[in-house]
A and B are shown apart, each in its own frame.
Chain A
Amino acid sequence: MKKEFEVISKIIKNKKRVLDVGCGDGTLMEYLKNSQQNDVRGLEPQKNLAQKCISKGLSVIEGDAEKDLIQFPKKSFDYVVLSQTLQAFLNPEKVLDQLLRIGKQTIVSVPNFGYWKVRLHLLFKGTMPVTKNLPNEWYNTPNLHMCTIKDFVNFCNKKKIKIDKSMCLTNEKISEITKKNMDYKNVFSELGIFLIE
Chain B
Amino acid sequence: MPGLAGLFFCLIMNTEIKGIKKLIVNQSLELDCGKVIKNFPVAYETYGTLNKNKDNAILAFHALTGDQFCTNINPITKREGWWTFAVGPGKSIDTDKYFVICANVLGGCMGSYGPKEINPETNKLFGTTFPVITIRDMVRAQKYLIDHLGIKKLLSVIGGSMGGMQVLQFAALYPNLSHSAIPIACSASHSAQNIALNELGRQAIMADPNWKKENSSPDKGLAVARMAAHITYLSKKGLEEKFGRKLQDKGSLKFSFDADFQIESYLRYQGATFVDRFDANSYLYITRAMDYFDLEKQFNGNLSLAFKDNKAKFCVISFSSDWLYPTSENKEIVIALNACGANVTFVEINSDKGHDSFLLDVPQFLRTIREFINSTYNEVKK
Chain A interface (Cβ within 8 Å of chain B)? 17, 39, 41, 47, 50-51, 53-63, 71-73, 76
CA distance A39 to B348 in the complex (A): 23
CA distance A39 to B342 in the complex (A): 11
Check B367–A61 contact: CB distance below 8 A. Answer: no
CA distance A53 to B367 in the complex (A): 12
Check B344–A51 contact: CB distance below 8 A. Answer: no
Indicate whether A54 sits within 8 Å of B372 (C-beta atoms), given known contacts A71-B334, A72-B338. yes
Check B347–A47 contact: CB distance below 8 A. Answer: yes
Check B313–A61 contact: CB distance below 8 A. Answer: no
Taking the closest CB of chain A, its distance from the CB of B113, in whole angstroms, is 37
CA distance A47 to B368 in the complex (A): 11
Check B367–A51 contact: CB distance below 8 A. Answer: yes
Q: Which residues of A contact B334 (CB under 8 A)?
A: 61, 71
Check A62–B347 contact: CB distance below 8 A. Answer: yes
Query: Which residue in B339, B341, B375 is a CB contact (below 8 Å) of A54?
Result: B375
Taking the closest CB of chain B, its distance from the CB of A99, in whole angstroms, is 15
Residue picked from B345, B350, B364, most chain A C-beta under 10 Å: B345
Residue picked from A47, A59, A63, most chain B C-beta under 10 Å: A59
Q: Which residues of A contact B378 (CB under 8 A)?
A: 57
Check B313–A59 contact: CB distance below 8 A. Answer: yes
Chain A residues touching B, majority SS: mixed
Indicate whether A54 sits within 8 Å of B347 (C-beta atoms), given known contacts A61-B338, A71-B334, A72-B338. yes
Chain B interface (Cβ within 8 Å of chain A)? 313, 315, 334-335, 338-339, 341, 343-350, 364, 367-368, 371-372, 375-376, 378-379
Check A57–B379 contact: CB distance below 8 A. Answer: yes
Determine the residue in chain B with the shortest Cβ distance to A67. B331
CA distance A10 to B335 in the complex (A): 30
Check A59–B344 contact: CB distance below 8 A. Answer: yes
Check B347–A51 contact: CB distance below 8 A. Answer: yes
Check B368–A56 contact: CB distance below 8 A. Answer: no
CA distance A51 to B346 in the complex (A): 10
Q: Which residues of A contact B335 (CB under 8 A)?
A: 71
Indicate whether A47 sits within 8 Å of B348 (C-beta atoms), given known contacts A57-B378, A71-B334. yes
Check B344–A71 contact: CB distance below 8 A. Answer: no
Q: Which residues of A contact B349 (CB under 8 A)?
A: 47
Determine the residue in chain B with the shortest Cβ distance to A102. B338
Query: Which residue in A41, A51, A72 is a CB contact (below 8 Å) of B368?
Result: A51
Check B339–A71 contact: CB distance below 8 A. Answer: yes
Q: Which residues of A contact B313 (CB under 8 A)?
A: 59
Indicate whether A47 sits within 8 Å of B345 (C-beta atoms), given known contacts A71-B338, A72-B338. no
Taking the closest CB of chain B, its distance from the CB of A73, in whole angstroms, is 6
Apart from A50-B347, A59-B313, 10 more pairs, CB < 8 Å: A47-B348, A54-B315, A54-B345, A54-B371, A54-B375, A57-B376, A57-B378, A59-B344, A62-B347, A73-B338
